[in-house]
Amino acid sequence: MKVWFAKLAQTYPQVAVVDGFASAGRHRDGRAGSPLIILNAYLDHAYRQRFKAPAHLVFVESDRLFARHLCWEPWHWATSASDANAALPTA
């Protein structure tokens, strides 16, 4: 994931990553799921300052309970409050 962020975000003016089956963001055993892996790859990328623009991260989940959990998971997990605010949806 980090390799793709570097290649795409330094080449194109806009990059969007869509996770169509996001689930709650974390597996039952506590391991990070795909939304957290994607978010981590973006937030912790060594070349993020070289990206042409912030990436658009879209996480799709049809189960309301999972979606609600997914919206709040980064608050407990993100590396800093400013990064979490930038990554979380506003609604």
Question: Mind listing the pLDDT tens digit for each residue in 28-66?
Answer: 898 889 998 998 889 888 988 889 999 999 999 999 998
Q: Which pLDDT does position 80 carry in this prediction?
A: 44
Can you give the pTM of this predicted structure? 0.73
Mean pLDDT for the chain?
A: 81
- Which range, of 4-8, 25-29, 45-49, 80-84, averages the lowest pLDDT? 80-84
Find out whether 72 and 34 touch, Cβ atoms under 8 Å. Answer: no
Q: Which pLDDT does position 1 carry in this prediction?
A: 83
How many CB atoms are located within 10 Å of the residue 72 CB? Answer: 12
* CA 5-80-84 angle, 5° bins: 65
